[in-house]
Amino acid sequence: MKIENSKSRLLMEIIKTHYHPDITTLESKSIVTRLATRSITIQGNAILLLYTERYEDYSLPGGGLDLDENIIEGMIRELSEETGAKEIRNIKPFGAYEEYRPWYKPDYDIQHMISYCYTCDISKELGIPKLETYETENGMKATWVNIHDAIKYNNQTMTISHKKGMSIERETFLLKLIAKKLM
């Protein structure tokens, strides 16, 4: 299956569709769709990830697109804001991760999130990130890390931590796929 975004006219292959365990059916449910991006930046044996102290996990830089924002422009914005990345170039599609999860507001039952993942190159030296208040409060920090160490760490968090967030399954799946295809 491929997803098309009207702003960029980009077709991207769905690499996985994930249903949260609490989602047993989409029938008769109200669904809100959120588009997001994830950046894959590798240099040598290291990948640029975000470590979040609150959730005890590693994740790819990225986040939600603003209303009517072009996907690639949003990816560049998120990567730069969260990591201080500079000289972002050679952007190529990797695949889209689609997920259905419970929505926390009363206006919808389910959130359908599509994360558009891209590989790119950046300058090794990072600038100063421009994190949102909640990101700073959650202890989010950009770091170059060995991808296999990050996968091992996330697997351990999923096994033993009560602090894990809902996104860790997506992030660990993507890291494993990246390690298999790109490392």
Domain ranges of the chain: 2-182
pLDDT band at 53 (very low <50, low <70, confident <90, very high): very high
The b-or-e profile of 109-134 (16+ CB within 10 A means b, else e) is: ebbbbbbbbbbbebeeebeebebeee
Q: How many CB atoms lie within 10 A of CB 140?
A: 21
Bigger pLDDT: 149 vs 12: 149
The pLDDT value recorded for residue 165 is 74
pTM flag (> 0.75): yes
Average pLDDT score, the chain: 92
Q: Which amino acid is at 45?
A: N
Q: Which fold has domain 2-182?
A: Nucleoside Triphosphate Pyrophosphohydrolase (3.90.79)
